[in-house]
Structure 1
Amino acid sequence: MRPKRSFFCLLVVFLVLLGLSLSAQELQTGAIRGKVVDENGQALPGVSISVTGPALQGKITAVTKEDGFFRLPGLPPGRDYEVRAELQGFETVVRKGIIVNVGAVVTIEIEMKPSTLKEEITVIAPSPVVDVVKSVKANIVSKEELQSLPLSRGYASLIRTAPGTVEYTIYGSGRGDAGVAVEGVISNDPDQNAPAIGTDAGMAWDMVEEVEIVTSGAPAEYYSSPFGQINIVMKSGGNKLTGELSFYYTNEKLSKVHLREEDLNILNLAKPSFPVYSYDASVALGGAIIEDKIWYMGEFRHQRSLRKGDFRPTVILGKKYENYDRLFPNYIGYLKFTFQLAKNLRGTAMGHYSEQDVPYYYSGWNLTNEANRHNNPKRLNYAATLTWFINNSNLLSLRIGGLYFKWTGVPTKDANPEGPMYVDRYTSYQWGSVDYQWTYKPSLNIVVSLTKYVDDFLGGNHEFKAGLEWQRNRGDWGFYLKKNMTWYYYNEDPYYWRALNKGVTDPVYGDGQLTFQAIGKAYGESYQTGRTSRFGGFIQDMFTIKRLTISAGVRVDTIDTWVPGRKKGAAGDPLSIAIGETYFKPFYGINPYDEISYPTWDNAFPYGVFISPRFGITFDVFGNHKTALKGSFSHQAEPFPTGTFAGMYPLTYRSFTFNWWDLNNNRIPDPPPVDQYKEASGANPLAMVGDTYLKAIDPDAKPTSVDEFNIGLEHELLENFKVGVGYIFKKRSNILDTVLWDMQSNRYWNTYEKAPEWWVPFTTIVPAYGMFPESKVTMYFLSKNAPEMFYRLTNVPEARWKSRSFEIFFNKRMFKGWMVGGSINFLKSVGNFPIGWSEMYSRQTLANPNGFVNGYGELNWSRPIIIKLYGTFILPYQIIFSFFYQHTDGTPWNRTVTVIPPSQWANAHNAKTISYSINVEPRGSRLNEATDNIDVRFEKTFKIGPGDFGFYVDVFNLLGAYTLNVTKNPAGTWRPVDENTAQGTFSPTSLGLKGFSGYREIRFSAVYKF
């Protein structure tokens, strides 16, 4: 039995016996708590409290304690909640107009006066906007914001309003770092941690009730949220029959590009990828199956758009490549059941399916129709919860759900899959074909937990919560090629090295350069896969003493990791097999291009037990529930998708690049000995030899951890209007990277200091070019005495990543005809380990000493200033105007170059002639242009029959702002004649204007709701 399987069996039995549990409460609901006093401010015990509301099926009741305190947990997000307070001898008080948000606690105070009559007093007061209980730093995207703001109706729009977010990133994190939960169930894909809803095949946008974006200070019940947690709550049905029909439309005549057609033709630029046509139609229906017992809500949505291509037309080897349009059809279905089996027993069951079939998926000015990909993703998210309100002090609940994701990405109908893939390293154009790829990613998540309220204990009131969690992930990524070769050209010359050497064979590097992928030739013959089984548990306490609330908790997780054994098929190109037989097999005993198999790799990554403490504090500064001072600290593990370790198994997507000598000058790569080949970068198949892969992960490796700290002040400035300031700091530790390691000496040698005898320092002066001054840089070339290169996954102590942000934010709810929100962030991320998507996509950043050359500086998601402003206003004649404005400072960048060592110097210093890329200047020392964008919406609603008909006009990018896509970094290759000199040959890449993005788009829409 696999380790921990017996524990899982016990857990399943426990769940079956219980049949019930709680964790979904925090992810799907909010709460009301407060105090009941008499007219003299004295606490009133024994008051019967009940709450009702449009979003709540039935009602929830409570009784005040000795100190007059009460709580009403498990409330779905919504408006117009009513709290009713009743006590013999006192007038009945009804507090109306309370707004509950997901994950938040609303604190109120009710005053009751003595009365011998059965009087009922209705109190309508503004709902509090400051949570004076929880220390979590969160941003709520309300139903009103989702429905009224001009948003793009996709996942990225859900987090757009939150302070400190850029695209999918939160406070400088990677695009795939944030946790996502839909209806309380984890919705990150298993192998990359990507958001698993709404990112490609779309989502049931109109069915989103509310979104909570936790950006810092997540409590212990969240497994992995150091870089944010997005909690999406979907709509539920009720006793009243409701429905919605909507249609959104735009076309190319409604899109405006602020560059003249003649200018585009002169510059040979394609227009941005705007829609030739685009429509989005949906129909939704909700109601009761059994009144007061079972309800439903469902939607079908179809999106279809034909988008103009943004390819830059060109001629390659005499063949004309034109721009091409891209068709995007999406099909989305959603169904949710809500049920109340008894007064104190509630549950939900939800399914969300989306599919897309796109003949040309990717955009890019340099991507020909032959080098694009035909994508077909299919996603299913499912979730079910069952909650038992045992009594006023105990809640027990069960959550089970997961996702299913299957994707294929194959060559387009224009490609030639029987031939090579081509890349021109000067022009950057790609043509020929692409590889075949597919994925299969199922995930299952089960959580059981208990919440217990204990009052008047240790001087205050407590909310204890404890739970157990299990998650099973599988991530399969398949790939194959009929012709497993990539051929590198230079400015249409098939001889890459000849072109760089004035048309003659380079004495060191030969004529050309080719890459051969060590993968199979048919479906199923080669794929990367990883499996994880995670067990976790948490306990936390939210302890309130008068105006002070202390949140303390700890979470413990352990993950079992393994890679199933399997066989890889032989490569499709006989040339690659011949090269492997000639240059690899005599030295390593294997041919990586031939058929090969390996056994199962158990305990692939030594995850161990990760202990995550969480601590937060909230202080109600003036005791009037309007001002809160908050702070929190947490030590969390970074997300751990299967891709973290699965790529270290031999049968991942491997390739080897060879320099090629065309000895017979026929311009065609021939098998050796007709032509000659030499591995170009010093790589080898050592990781595929026998069981050496078992050493590819350090047995002492630990998961990357993140320490985060935040402090802030929130204040209710006016009714329904909150302002605040905050400071957030995040730091990664134990960063994982694949770096050079020597098996014989058990020694890492990825820095010069660790192995000075295996690296040869080389100082060169990179010449000035354009706006770039010359720069003197010391780098390192590989010594001939160095051992075979073998990369090992380990924690790199020299790796650095940290981010800090100071922010000012404000938000006014919709009240008296207007709402407004916004933020200003001063975000700075620094280090030497840039993360674009997630940590695992930054592997080999610090694999050798050259990764440290000018390596520390501004990281890629650092933005000095981010400004957001949005709002909705009801104008005369009930016309509604909404807008969203965003300013984002530019992306950091710097000059880079690939340095080729002088052959004479290399021979004199016993160095290998392997080239390395370096930063010529400190990382992120330059900034791209800032962007400014404003979107607006006008809306008018009419009463028609039993419902309301709304007509909308959205104008995206109102001012028509655009960004020029200019290749500024000359990069290229630098071939100095010797060290300490600026003499040599610099060959830059193709610079200049490559395209542009940004256009104004008008979109019309009509919605009928009843």
Structure 2
Amino acid sequence: MRKSLTFLLVLLLAVSLSAQVRTGNIYGKVVDTDGNPLPGVTVTLTGSKTAPLTSITSAEGNFRFISLPPANDYALKAELEGFKSVVRENIIVVVGGNVNLTLTMEMGALEEEITVVAETPVVDTKKTAVGANVTQEVLQELPTARDPWVILQMAPSVIVDRENVGGAESGQQSSYVARGAGDYDNNVWAMDGIVITDPAAIGASPSYYDFDAFEEMQITVGGADVTVQTGGVALNMVTRRGGNRVTLGGRFYVTDEKFQADNFTDEFKAEGLRGINKIRENKDYGFNLGGPLVKDKAWFWGSYGVQDIKTSTVYGTKDDTLLTNYAAKLNLQIIPQNRFEAFIHAGKKEKWGRSASAALPDVYKQGGRSHFGSPLVKFQDEHMIGDNLFISLKYAFSDAGFKLTPMMDLEFDDIPIWDVTDKRW
């Protein structure tokens, strides 16, 4: 019996280490004006992404709130008879981050309240990893191409094999390494706490993504904890979730051929060049919706996005890709100690003219394994027992892959074919 129990505990530990972090934590201490710890203080945490949570400080004055969804509007309120209440607002929690705070309480009536205005501490004393956290504000405001491979370049020492200017390289995966690594086989992809690295192309992503679905991206290039099994770059993508406020967003971006300069001169033509790789027309459109089903207890969120990418190769031939993405999430917190999450993501890539060669002149059309592409499904339940026991149960399924259909079997007017003389399609 003891051996069976030991094996079960080791198995549970192994399963827990295979996941990536999708949340952050708040640690704190409450002291009086002389720096002495205050036990028995009631500390209440509020925010738009969670129900109110309460913690009682220990004999050393410590409190903590763990596994919090990333957000920038958390607030703490400390209350103790004989002391003025203290409020700390605008606390920012990032993925994989730990916020360390000290709240100082003054003698006075409980009804009196002190609001502390201060920046969230920049230094995370509990974290050893080297990398970068890219928040939603940065994702939306920086004028970059809209895919994760571009964001990877923001982390120190990461080198990507191409420059995606204006979406000219979107629809294709980039290769990347960090800190002098020789190849990208050790890279890890994770989404909402699930490792999704393509099993058929180690180090690569199994899907493409709706850029507006991301809440935050965490890039780790070194010093990773035990949740990362390799020494490569770990990209941890966390999608958005519903909160107590209804949110609705939409976009329609267009990059047209007329928006770019043309450096294809007569001199290049005289040298035999047939064209330049350029954007013909890129469209990126979609919407997302989230909000409460029951305030402080149940929330929903969903998104739909399309990237219609039309480019040209250096031979002047067409290179078209269509990316379609769906995502949905349900979060429940019926009691303060328990959190449940159900999540689904599906991405489908359609590409015309894949695998062109002399032996396969009619080539393939690439498509998803189903109408919605290749789905990722996750169910997760977290429960806090007392102050020192945290249990997380998780089930996930990822159906990576795609299907290829011979172009000759499709009704298609402009079928790409392989030019035997020029060895191109």
Measured against the shorter chain, the TM-score band is 0.7 to 0.9
CA pair 392-22 structure 1, distance change in 2 beyond 3 A: farther
Corresponding position of 2:365: 374
Alignment partners' CA distance in 1, 2:42 and 2:146: 43
Equivalent position of 2:412 in the other structure: none
The structural deviation recorded for 1:97 is 1.7
Which of 188, 192, 196 in structure 2 is aligned with 1:187? 196
1:609-631: CA deviation from partner (whole Å, max 9, x where unpaired): xxxxxxxxxxxxxxxxxxxxxxx
- Listed as ranges, the matches of 1:315-354 within 5 Å are 323-354=316-347
> Residue type matched to 1:333 in 2?
Y
Alpha carbons of structure 1 residues 409 and 187: separation in structure 2 relative to 1, 3 Å: same
Letter in 1 for 2:342: A
Contact 1:270-1:309 within 8 A present in 2 as well: no
Q: Of residues 241, 246, 252 in structure 1, which corresponds to 2:251?
A: 246
Is 1:214 the equivalent of 2:223?
A: no
Q: Which residue of the other structure, out of 375, 378, 382, is the alignment partner of 1:383?
A: 378
Q: How far is 1:111 from its partner? A: 0.8
Q: Name the counterpart of 1:203.
A: 209
Q: Which of 303, 327, 344 lines up with 1:299 in the alignment? A: 303
Q: After superposition, where does 1:466-481 map in structure 2 within 5 Å? A: none
Out of 86, 98, 108, the position equivalent to 1:105 is 98
Alignment of 1:576-615 (within 5 A): none
Q: 1:287 matched to which residue of 2?
A: 291
Whether the 8 Å contact between 2:20 and 2:195 is mirrored in structure 1 is: no
Which of 30, 36, 53 aligns to 2:47? It is 53
CA deviations on 1:448-503 (whole Å, 9 max, x unpaired) are: xxxxxxxxxxxxxxxxxxxxxxxxxxxxxxxxxxxxxxxxxxxxxxxxxxxxxxxx
- CA distance in 2: counterparts of 1:113 and 1:25, whole angstroms: 43
For 1:24 and 1:345, the matched residues in 2 are separated by: 22
Where 1:297 maps in the other structure, the secondary structure is strand
Residues of 2 paired with 1:422 and 1:134: CA distance? 55
Q: Is the 8 A contact 2:352 2:364 kept in 1?
A: yes
Looking at structure 2, the residues matched to 422 and 153 of structure 1 have their Cα atoms a distance apart, in angstroms, of 33
- 2:375 and 2:274 map into 1 onto residues whose CA distance is 36
Aligned to 1:38: 32
Shift of residue 373, structure 1, vs aligned partner: 4.7
* Paired amino acid for 1:170: A
Shift of 1:213: 1.2
Tell me how large the CA RMSD over aligned residues is.
2.9
Rounded to whole Å, the distance in 2 between the matches of 1:375 and 1:351 is 22
Q: Where does residue 21 of structure 2 map in the other structure? A: 27
CA distance in 2, matches of 1:94, 1:131: 22
For 2:255 and 2:77, how far apart are their aligned partners in 1?
49
Offset of 1:352 from its aligned partner?
0.9
Tell me if the contact between 1:324 and 1:369 (Cα under 8 Å) persists in the aligned partners: no
> 1 CA distance for matches of 2:19 and 2:59?
27
TM-score normalised by structure 1 residue count: 0.37
Using the alignment, how far apart are the partners of 1:233 and 1:24 within structure 2?
A: 16
List alignment gaps of at least 5 residues for structure 1.
1-6, 16-20, 312-322, 433-1010
**Mapped contact 1:185–1:400 kept (Cα < 8 A):** no
Partner of 2:63: 70
Tell me the residue number matched to 2:231.
Answer: 226
What is residue 180 of structure 2 aligned with on the other side?
172
Q: How far 1:28 sits from its partner (Å)?
A: 0.9
User: Which residue identity is paired with 1:196?
Assistant: S
Report the CA distance between 1:358 and its aligned residue. Answer: 1.3
- Report the CA distance shift for 1:117/1:101 in structure 2 as closer, same or farther (over 3 A): closer
For residues 876-896 of structure 1, what are the alpha-carbon distances to aligned partners after superposition, in whole Å with 9 as ceiling and x for unaligned? xxxxxxxxxxxxxxxxxxxxx
CA–CA separation in structure 2 for the residues paired with 1:58 and 1:336 = 17
Contact 2:79 2:110 in 1 (8 A): no
Deviation track 1:249-282 (CA, whole Å, cap 9, x = no partner) reads 011111213x243123112224432221111110
Question: Quick one: distance in 2 between partners of 1:412 and 1:271?
Answer: 25
SS in 1 for 2:361: helix
State the match for 1:460 in structure 2. none
Q: Aligned partners of 1:35, 1:367: CA distance in 2, in Å?
A: 69
Cα offset, 1:379, TM superposition:
2.4
> Which of residues 146, 149, 153 is equivalent to 2:142?
149
> How many angstroms does 1:431 deviate by?
6.0
Look up the SS of the partner of 1:370 in the other structure: coil
Asked if 2 retains the 8 angstrom alpha-carbon contact of 1:386 and 1:397, the reply is yes
Tell me how far 1:27 sits from its aligned partner: 0.5
Q: Alpha carbons of 1:283 and 1:117: their partners in 2 closer, same or farther (altered >3 Å)?
A: closer
The alpha carbon displacement at 1:423 in A equals 7.8
1:309–1:324 CA contact under 8 A, matched in 2: yes
Deviation at 1:367, TM superposition (A): 9.1
C-alpha change, 1:362 and 1:309, in structure 2 (3 Å) is farther
SS at match of 1:134: coil
Counterpart code for 2:225? P
| Map 1:521-560 → 2, pairs under 5 A | none
- Cα shift at 1:152: 1.5
Quick one: which amino acid aligns to residue 24 of structure 2?
G
How much does 1:209 deviate?
0.4
Change (3 A) 1:26 1:250: closer
Q: How does 1:493-508 map to 2 (within 5 A)?
A: none
For residues 204 and 107 of structure 1, the distance between their equivalents in structure 2, rounded to whole angstroms, comes to: 33
Judge conservation of contact 1:329–1:356 (CA < 8 Å) in 2: yes
Secondary structure in 1 aligned to 2:400? strand
Determine helix, strand or coil for the equivalent of 1:392.
coil
Preserved CA contact (<8 Å) 2:33 2:104: yes
Tell me how far 1:368 sits from its aligned partner. 12
Deviation at 1:54, TM superposition (A): 2.0
Q: How many Å apart are 1:85 and its aligned residue?
A: 1.0
CA distance in 1, matches of 2:196, 2:333: 26
> Does the alignment pair 1:137 with 2:137?
no
In structure 2, the partner of 1:408 is 403
| 1:225 Cα deviation after fit | 2.8
Distance (Å, rounded) in 2 between the aligned partners of 1:154 and 1:164: 19
* Change over 3 Å in CA distance of 1:356–1:191 after alignment to 2: closer
Which structure shows the higher strand fraction?
1
1:189 partner SS = coil
After TM superposition, the score normalised by the length of structure 2 is: 0.84
1:696-707 alignment runs, 5 A limit: none
How far apart are the structure 2 equivalents of 1:109 and 1:362? 59
Q: How far has the Cα of 1:117 moved from its partner?
A: 5.0
Corresponding residue for residue 520 of structure 1: none
Within the candidate set 86, 89, 97, 1:93 is matched to 86
Code of the residue aligned with 2:91 in structure 1: it is I
How big is the shift at 1:59? 2.2
Map 1:792-803; keep pairs closer than 5 Å.
Answer: none
**Distance verdict in 2 for CA 1:37–1:290, change over 3 Å:** closer
- Kindly state the Cα deviation for residue 23 of structure 1 after the two structures are TM-superposed: 6.7
SS at match of 1:59: strand
Flag structure 2 segments of 5+ consecutive residues without an equivalent: 161-175, 409-414
Question: How much has 1:88 moved relative to structure 2?
Answer: 0.9
Counterpart-to-counterpart distance in 1, 2:224 and 2:358: 42
For this pair of structures, how many residues does the alignment match? Answer: 391
Residues 814-842 of structure 1: CA deviation (Å, up to 9, x unaligned): xxxxxxxxxxxxxxxxxxxxxxxxxxxxx
CA displacement at 1:153 relative to structure 2? 1.4
CA deviation after TM superposition for structure 1 residue 412, in Å: 4.7
CA contact (8 A) 1:23 1:398 kept: no
Aligned to 1:310: 314
Change in Cα spacing, 1:122 to 1:197, as seen in structure 2 (3 Å) is farther
Deviation at 1:186, TM superposition (A): 0.8
1:370 and 1:431 in contact (8 A); partners too = no
d(CA) in 1 for partners of 2:284 and 2:308?
7
Instruction: Kindly indicate whether the alpha-carbon contact (under 8 Å) linking 1:23 and 1:397 is maintained by their aligned counterparts in 2.
Output: no
Q: Cα distance 1:212–1:388, how it changes in 2: closer, same or farther (>3 A)?
A: same
